[in-house]
A and B are shown apart, each in its own frame.
Chain A
Amino acid sequence: MSDLTPIPDTELMRRIKGGGADADEALRVLITRWQQPVMGFIQRSLPDPAEAEDLTQGVFIQLWKASGRYQPTARFSTFLFTLARNLTLNEIRRRARHPADSMDAPHPEFEDHPLRQIPGPRTDEPTEEATRSELESLIEAALRDLPEKQRTAIVLCREGELSYEEIADLLGTSLQATKSLIHRGREVLKARLKPYLRSGTWDPS
């Protein structure tokens, strides 16, 4: 456990900005503290875990580069997730421009095979596990299909543990508009997952 662990994010950022001897350790603590929510946020937008991992790494590299711009008056979580959101949006735009780069794109020689084989559900696994895996895929797809702002607001609210005010700051919208985005997004999710909402779990009957 590092000595810097109990230190607040803003102080860690100040140390990274200063570039002193403990700058590396400060960044390491920040990464350990935030890697899970950042990667969770990115992976809800990008289906490929490997790409999400690379992008998460990119977010923290960008955080180091942008540490000079960070003002302690701004909340660190808003600053970090703004970087994560911008990088994710750039990646989504890049993939839209060059669909061939996507891991889901067909292999140039074998058009019916994707570039990277994502393992499907095992056929010999128990049925309950298979249905749970199917449900996970459905929920992930439903989240990914939401408009970007609705998805960002919902994911940051749940996984980023950001308040409505922080999400509003990050999205550049009013508090009321943010509440409306979350409400509309959740309504869409409810509509898409309606068959599974009866019991709150997988219930195909």
Chain B
Amino acid sequence: MHSDPQIPDWMERIHSGKATPDEVDRLRRHPGVDPAQLDEEVRLNRLLEVLPPVSVPSNLASRVLDAIHLEARQTRRRPRWAGWISRIVWRPAWALLAVACLALVGWRIQSQQRTTLARSVLIVSEATAVPGVEALVDFEAIQWLESRPEPGDLELMAALSSP
């Protein structure tokens, strides 16, 4: 239908409902136009013209201006310090909240590290044979632990001292 480069412009005029009857007739006679399709477009336009124009209230402009003036008055009525307060208070409050969040995350990580360390110490202590607390409290027992050589040690000393 749109072999002629002029046709799309005419179709735009028809779609917008601005085409004059003369323009429609010229378009209908155009060899690149399907008259049946064109008539359908024109009929659809006629149907869309059935819709009445919306009724706008006569005082719309006054209502808009009243609303704008009211808003402007409310903005002016707000004391200047209110703006400063909000700027002074809100920014540090947000900064404080961010610092608190970071501190909480740091504390969580640290406490997790400590738990891991404690668990690993427990594993090591369970694996190593360490004398009980009672033995360490008894001074003589400590002496005994330190002074009594193992038989293997004596044999090793003897072997080392022999020429």
Contacts and interface: CB of A to CB of B under 8 A. Distances in A.
Contact of A200 (B43, B52, B67): B43
B30 interface: no
Central interface residue in B53, B61, B64, by most chain A CB within 10 Å: B64
Interface stretch (A30-38, A75-83, A84-92, A98-106): A30-38
B114 interface: no
Interface of B: 8, 12, 15-18, 40-44, 46-48, 50-57, 60-61, 63-65, 67-68, 71
A94 interface: no
Contact of B50 (A52, A132, A164, A182): A132
A57 B50 contact: no
Nearest to A154: B15
Contacts of A28: 61, 65
A179 interface: yes
Given A40-B54, A200-B42, A201-B47, 15 more contacts: A31-B64, A35-B61, A39-B56, A49-B54, A49-B55, A56-B56, A57-B64, A132-B50, A139-B47, A139-B51, A158-B16, A161-B18, A179-B8, A197-B40, A198-B43
A157 B15 contact: yes
Contacts of A57: 60, 63-64, 67
Contacts of B65: 24, 27-28
A55 B8 CA distance: 34
Nearest to B41: A186
Given A24-B65, A158-B17, A43 B44 contact: no
B48 A32 contact: no
A61 B67 CA distance: 8
Interface of A: 24, 27-28, 31-32, 35-36, 39-40, 43, 49, 52-53, 56-57, 60-61, 64, 132, 135-136, 139-140, 154, 157-158, 161, 163-164, 179, 182, 186, 189-190, 193, 196-202
Contacts of B12: 157, 163-164
Per CB-CB distance, the 7 closest pairs between chain A and chain B, nearest first, are: A200-B46, A200-B43, A31-B61, A60-B64, A28-B61, A40-B54, A35-B56
Contacts, number: 93
25 contacts: A27-B64, A32-B61, A36-B54, A49-B55, A53-B56, A53-B57, A56-B56, A57-B64, A61-B64, A135-B50, A136-B50, A139-B51, A158-B15, A161-B16, A164-B12, A182-B15, A193-B47, A197-B40, A197-B47, A200-B43, A200-B46, A200-B47, A201-B46, A201-B50, A202-B50
A43 B15 contact: no
